Structure 1
Amino acid sequence: MKFGCHISIKNGYLGAAKRAVASGASAFQYFPKNPRSLSVKDFDQEDAESCKSFCEEHGLISVAHTPYPTSLTPTEDKRELTIFSLLNDLEIANTCGSVGVVVHFGSQISKTDPLASYHLMLDMLNSVLRQWDGDCLVLLENNAGTKGALGTTFEELVQVRNLCEYPEKIGFCLDTCHAFASGLWNGENAEELFAKGQELGYWEELKIIHLNNSKYPTGSKKDRHANIFGLGHINEEQFETFIPSTLLKEIPFILETPDDEGISHKEEIEMLKQKWG
C-alpha cells in the first residue's frame, strides 16, 4: 500500500519529492503554487521535469491540489481567473508527472434553483477541459457537507463526470474526513459504501484518497481533520473496515492531518505502514 502526506514546495517541486522519500512516503501531495492565490505562476520547467524523473526513479506518486480560492462554482467576476488558474495548475502538475489536480466539488449558488450549481460546474469543467490535452486529470473531491451540502454523495460525483463533455479527463479523490462529516461513511457502513461505489462505477475512477480522521462526529458537516491514531472520532476498528479493502489496494493514501499536534507525518506514515502496509 502507498502512504504519503501533503508536502510544501518551498524547496521546489524536486525538493518536495525528495522530502517525501525522506519521510518514508511512497506518495505525496503539493500545492503547485501559492495556496492563497488564483494568480498564474510562471513555474520552473526544469525543476518540474526533474521532479517527474525523480518520482519515476523512486516509484513515487504525486498529486497536486488547487489553491484554496479555487471553486467550480465561482462568482462571475472570478470565472475567467479560475479557469486560467486551473489550467495553470494542470500544466504544472502534468510537467511534474502528477496523476491529477484535486479540486473541491462546487457549492450551492442559488436558494431557488437547486440545479444552478451543477450547471455552472459543468460549464466550468467543459471550459477548462476543452483547452486541456495533457495526461493530468481533474480530480473531483467529495465535500464535508458545508456550504449547501453539495458533493457529498457518489451519485453527484459520478453524474457530474458522466455529464461532462470530457469524462475521460476527470477522476475522483475521496476524503475520509469529509465522507465521515457528511455522513456518507459513518464508520459502520463500509460494506454498503463499497457496494454503492461499485454499482455506480466510482471506484474505477478513484485516483487518490485523502486519509484524515475527524475532530467532530459523523454527520457534523464540519471539515476539521485529526490525526489517524486515537485523536479523532474515527477509531482504528472503523478504519480497519475501510483501508485494507481490495478495492483500494492500488490507491495512494495521502495524509492531510495536523503535523504539529504531537505526531509528525513521518511518524504517522510509519505507523500506517506497520498497521496496514
Structure 2
Amino acid sequence: MKFGCHLSIRDGYLGAAKKAYAMNAGSFQYFPKNPRSLSVKDYSEEDAALCRVFCKEKGILSVSHSPYPTSLTPHSDEKKIQVIDSLLNDLEITEACGSIGVVVHFGKHASHLTLLESYQLMIELLDETLSEWEGDAKILLENSAGIPGTMGTTLEELVQIRRLCEFPEKIGFCLDTCHAFSCGLWNGSNWNDVLEKGVALGYFDQLEVIHFNNSKYPTGQGKDRHAPIFGKGCITEDQFDQLVQTPELAKLPFILETPKEEIPHEKEIQMLQEKWGI
C-alpha cells in the first residue's frame, strides 16, 4: 500500500519528497504554494523537476492540494478569475513535480444562487479552467463533509459533475474517509453498498487518491473533525479493514490528514504498514 501524509514544502518540493522517503512513505501530499492565498506563485522549475525525478526513482506517488480559499462556486466574477488563475498555477506546479493531480474541494451552495445555479457555476469554472490546461495532471474533486444532503456528499454528484464538464478526461476524484463518514455516505457498516454503487457509476474508475482519516464524531453528524486511524476515532479498525482490502483501491495513495500532534505521521505510517502493508 502507498501510505503517506501531507508534508510541508518549507524545504522545497524535492525536500518534501525526500522527507516522504525518509519516513518510508510511499506517497505524500503538499500545498503547491501558500495555502492561504490564491496568488500565483513563481516557482522553481529546477526544484520541481528534481522532485519529479526523485519520486520516479523511488516509486513515490504525490498529489498537491489547492489553497484553502479555492472555491469552485465563487461569490463574484472577480473571485472567479482569481480561482481560475490560481488553479492553472496549481496544475502547472503539480505537473512539474510529476504529481497525479491537484485535490480541490467540491463546490458549496452559493448563498446568492439556487442549488442548480451553484452546480452550473461549478461546471462553468471547471470548463474555463480546463480549456486552458493541456498537461496530464488532473483536478481531483474531493467529496464534501456535512450533514446528509449537503452539496458534494454523494457519488452521484461527483460523477455527474465530471460527466457534464467539457473535459471529463482532465478530472478525477479524491475520496476523504472522514468526509464520507461525516455525511453518512459511508457509515462504517455499508462499505459493500458504497463499493457496488461506485462501481456501477464509474466512480472508482476515476478515483486517484484516498484521504485516509478517522472521525472524532459519529457518522451522519456533519462534523469534519479528523482523528488518527488508530485510537479514539469513531471508525473502527475492522471498518477501515474493509476499505483497505478493496481491490479497486490497491494501487492508490492513502494520504493521512490526521492530527500529527496526537500521533506523529511517521509513527502512524509505520503502524499502517504493520497492519496493512504488503
Q: TM-score, normalised by structure 1?
A: 0.98
1:99-126, Cα deviation, whole Å (9 max, x unpaired): 0000000000147722011100000000
Q: What is the aligned partner in structure 1 of residue 141 from structure 2?
A: 140
Q: Which amino acid aligns with 2:168?
A: P
1:190/1:242 contact within 8 Å kept: yes
Q: Which amino acid aligns with 1:149?
A: T
Q: What is the aligned partner in structure 2 of residue 32 from structure 1?
A: 32
Gaps of 5+ in 2: none
Secondary structure of the equivalent of 2:5?
Answer: strand
Secondary structure of the equivalent of 1:4?
Answer: strand
Gaps of 5+ in 1: none
Q: What is the aligned partner in structure 1 of residue 258 from structure 2?
A: 257
1:198-249, Cα deviation, whole Å (9 max, x unpaired): 0000001000000000011100111111000022110111111111111110
Q: Which amino acid aligns with 2:7?
A: I
| Change in 2 beyond 3 A, CA 1:73/1:146 | farther
Q: Which amino acid aligns with 2:233?
A: G
1:39-89, Cα deviation, whole Å (9 max, x unpaired): 000000000000000000000001000000001001113110010000000
Q: What is the aligned partner in structure 2 of residue 122 from structure 1?
A: 123
Q: What is the aligned partner in structure 2 of residue 228 from structure 1?
A: 229
Q: What is the aligned partner in structure 1 of residue 110 from structure 2?
A: 109
Alpha-carbon distance in 1 for matches of 2:200, 2:103: 23
Alpha-carbon distance in 2 for matches of 1:103, 1:111: 22
| Change in 2 beyond 3 A, CA 1:195/1:32 | same
Residue 168 of structure 1 deviates from its aligned partner by 0.2
Q: Which amino acid aligns with 1:99?
A: I
1:101/1:139 contact within 8 Å kept: yes
Alpha-carbon distance in 2 for matches of 1:112, 1:91: 31
Alpha-carbon distance in 1 for matches of 2:149, 2:65: 22
Q: What is the aligned partner in structure 1 of residue 195 from structure 2?
A: 194
1:142/1:157 contact within 8 Å kept: yes
Q: What is the aligned partner in structure 1 of residue 13 from structure 2?
A: 13
Q: What is the aligned partner in structure 2 of residue 181 from structure 1?
A: 182
2:147/2:182 contact within 8 Å kept: no
Deviating more after overlay: 144-153 vs 201-210: 144-153
2:209/2:254 contact within 8 Å kept: yes
Q: TM-score, normalised by structure 2?
A: 0.97
Q: Equivalences for 1:20-99 in 2 at 5 Å?
A: 20-76=20-76, 77-99=78-100
Q: What is the aligned partner in structure 1 of residue 153 from structure 2?
A: 152
Q: What is the aligned partner in structure 2 of residue 2 from structure 1?
A: 2
1:27/1:254 contact within 8 Å kept: yes
Alpha-carbon distance in 1 for matches of 2:150, 2:80: 21
Q: Give the alignment's Cα RMSD to 1 decimal.
A: 1.2
Residue 146 of structure 1 deviates from its aligned partner by 6.1
1:108/1:114 contact within 8 Å kept: yes
Secondary structure of the equivalent of 1:103?
Answer: strand
Q: Percent identity?
A: 61
> What is the count of residue pairs matched by the alignment?
276
Q: What is the aligned partner in structure 2 of residue 212 from structure 1?
A: 213
